[in-house]
Chains A and B, each alone.
Chain A
Amino acid sequence: MDIFLQQIVNGLVLGSVYALVALGYTMVYGIMGLINFAHGEVVMIGALVSITVMQIFFAGAPGLSPVLLVLGALVVAIPVCMAIGYTIERVAYRPLRHAPRLAPLITAIGVSIVLQNLAMMIWGRGYISFPAIFPSGSYDIFGARITAVQIAIVVMAVVIMVALLTLVNKTKMGRAMRATAENPSVAGLMGVNINAVISFTFIIGSALAAIAGMMVSANYGIAHYFMGFMLGLKAFTAAVLGGIGNLKGAVLGGLLLGLIESLGAGYIGQLTGGFLGSHYQDVFAFFVLILVLIFKPSGLIGERVSERA
């Protein structure tokens, strides 16, 4: 039983990681109807920048408390990612806003390759380790074990979701965002500065990416220039699973995907009598994506997506 419980906990942690990244995808999609494939790469940059900052602080002042280190890293990583997010939108998407839908998709992939190569040039091809600032011990909850970083990840996913929902539904900027999502031209006529709203969306999404990047690399202890690719694909799957464009859906989709992968990898060997092994873990995510696209293209709690074209 405690093994099953542990698999559930593993799934929830992994799912929260996906959820954190999926929120960024879904926000941009919700406003612009655009899949920002470079989002995974912004997460990667966030992770690498925060590690670099921590290493500098860690070397300079070894006695610094972990909380201060994390805050210090975020103070640098968030603005860097915001700047990158803003630049991506300005350079790769804005000129193509009225182009056919395929065009921004292609520039998105292009941007992600550029960012990967940029990171490779700056940080090299090797794996970079996250400084050992957190205690590596874990807490025991009914026989399942969870570390402090993992608890933080789960909490952050929920907190950020609530914060984003408040932003979108309760603030003036949120109203402008919803108006832009509904119909950009009409929103523009009503006095909404669409360019500012879209830039803002990208900047917020990129700030989330910085936080997600740091939490992911803290959890696994490593980061490298290629990490954004798989993470981005999985998070995209999670967003689609929950219903892309829907913030609650991103979190739900992320958690579900995490649970599916974790339980799948844990039990597939037994269920198929050893025919399929645990290295098929990654396959489950995409198997789920295909099923969702066939049977419920708008996702589990998805919004109507046909309006925007």
Chain B
Amino acid sequence: MKLRHTGLLIISALVLAACGKGEAPAPKADAPKVTPVAAQAGVIKIGLAAPLTGPQAHIGQDIKNGTQLAIDDANAANIEIGGVKLKFELLAEDDEANPKTATVVAQKLADAKVAGVVGHFNSGASIPASRIYSDAGIPQISPSSTSPTYTNQGYKTTFRLVANDSQQGPAIGNYVVKKLGAKKIAIIDDRTAYGQGLADEVEKTIKAAGGEVVKREFTTDKATDFTAILTTLKGLKPDVIMFGGIDPQAGPMAKQMKSLGINAKFIGGDGWQTPNFIKLAGDAAEGGLASVPGLPKDQMPGGKDFLARFKAKYNVEVELFAPFGYDAVNVFIDAMKRAGSTDPVKFLPEVGKTKINGIIGPIAFDDKGDIKDGPITIFAVKGGKWEPLEIVGGPAK
């Protein structure tokens, strides 16, 4: 209710502004509340929520830089909606990759009446925050969260620009059976929502594609010793070992596989497609395979130009998700233009109908808010670096 009220105020302010400056005293007379809104009618705040401190700070900062670049571009383009020249502002908040902080930050952004939110980075943060944005009627576009739960909650305000884990799992499974020609596959997961969810999807796909899952083993997201389960797997001689989990486990696991003399290929998801995996596993990382939603950054349709501009502006390389942050802002602006309004109530339905060509490729959402035909790239460690190997899925060319 409160929101609709605010929405009306913004609209009326816009209308008044459009009618001409001569009538300016009138709103002051009928409601003092209108004045501050009217004064800010031209300023549109876009929220950003990501980990800006802590071990994932570099990833959050990357998204923030990408988002800021889009805001600067929009301001340079002198966008007018409803006859008002708009000035966009980025309101960046640090969620510390922590679900609890994420809800606090979300409330803060909702209270600041942002028009839309780019974020959060982690699924664990995006999910609890999404409820707050939904209650406030603010559209949320996560540049990176892959948990299927995020868009399965039935909120109309949740969107994402990456393929989710129920799409990533089949991509890995099919790659293992069809491309690697593996017959016997062993699967390990860390029993977290992410690791288990991904491993389950991979197992389903492998079975459907005619592969045999010889063993399903489990560990935890705190373990460092996997020799016991790896030894059991060694006896079963799998062609491929898939691990659903994150790099602190995947690194030592790769190392222990090597020292146990296991020759199976090692594959996983975006949880350990990180430079950290290579650091932790050392030379045992070589040949490791992992899938990541999205195209490799230099193969994105708008990638080369974006990377160059990003580098020129911030003097750092794009880590990973900056282009997604950039596109998220443009999805908002595009929806505002089509709705002819900067009011979330008005332009939210238009976000769902997005059809633009972003830096990351064509962007359109399905009815849940997931990106349609989001591509997935399989990376391999070659010469101590992650190199893109193959692009799976994605829009038909």
Residues of A within 8 A of B (CB): 3, 6-7, 10-11, 13-14, 124-127, 129, 132, 136-138, 140, 145-147, 150, 220-222, 224, 226-227, 230, 261-267, 269, 277-279, 281-282
Contact = CB atoms under 8 A, between A and B. Distances in A.
Nearest to B215: A269
Interface stretch (B223-231, B291-299, B365-373): B223-231
B314 interface: no
Contacts of B220: 279, 282
Interface string B259-278: 11100000000000000100
Contacts of B55: 124-126
A13 B227 contact: yes
9 contacts: A3-B231, A3-B235, A14-B225, A129-B251, A129-B280, A263-B228, A278-B228, A279-B191, A279-B220
Interface string B204-231: 0000000000001111101111011101
A7 B231 contact: yes
Nearest to B232: A266
**Would you list the 9 A-B pairs with minimal beta carbon distance, nearest first?**
A265-B228, A279-B218, A126-B55, A132-B282, A3-B235, A10-B227, A277-B218, A138-B259, A129-B279
A48 to B, nearest CB: 15
Nearest to A17: B225
A221 B227 contact: no
A126 B55 CA distance: 6
B283 interface: yes
Interface string B44-83: 0000000000110000000000000000000000000000
A277 B231 contact: no
A13 to B, nearest CB: 7
Contacts of B283: 132, 136
A145 B261 contact: yes
Interface of B: 54-55, 191, 216-220, 222-225, 227-229, 231-232, 234-235, 247-248, 251-252, 255, 258-261, 276, 279-284
Contact of B232 (A145, A278, A279, A282): A278
Given A13-B227, A136-B259, A261-B228, 10 more contacts: A14-B225, A127-B280, A129-B282, A266-B232, A277-B216, A278-B217, A278-B229, A279-B223, A281-B225, A282-B220
A127 B276 CA distance: 9
A281 B227 contact: no
B223 A281 contact: yes
A124 B56 CA distance: 11
Contact of B281 (A221, A262, A267): A221
A33 B45 CA distance: 63
Nearest to B246: A127
Which of B222, B223, B224 has the most chain A CB within a 10 Å cutoff? Answer: B224
A145 B259 contact: yes
A301 B217 CA distance: 35
A126 B277 CA distance: 12
Given A14-B227, A261-B228, A136 B284 contact: yes
Contact of A147 (B216, B231, B259): B259
A129 B191 CA distance: 23
Which of A13, A230, A262, A281 has the most chain B CB within a 10 Å cutoff? Answer: A281
A262 B227 contact: yes
B289 to A, nearest CB: 19
A277 B217 contact: yes
Given A6-B234, A132-B282, A138-B261, A222 B251 contact: yes
Contact of A125 (B54, B234, B247, B259): B54
B282 A221 contact: yes
Contact of B228 (A125, A224, A262): A262
A145 B260 contact: yes
Contacts of A140: 261
Nearest to A13: B227
Nearest to A6: B231
B229 A266 contact: yes
A137 B282 CA distance: 12
Nearest to A217: B224
B224 A281 contact: no
A224 B252 CA distance: 13
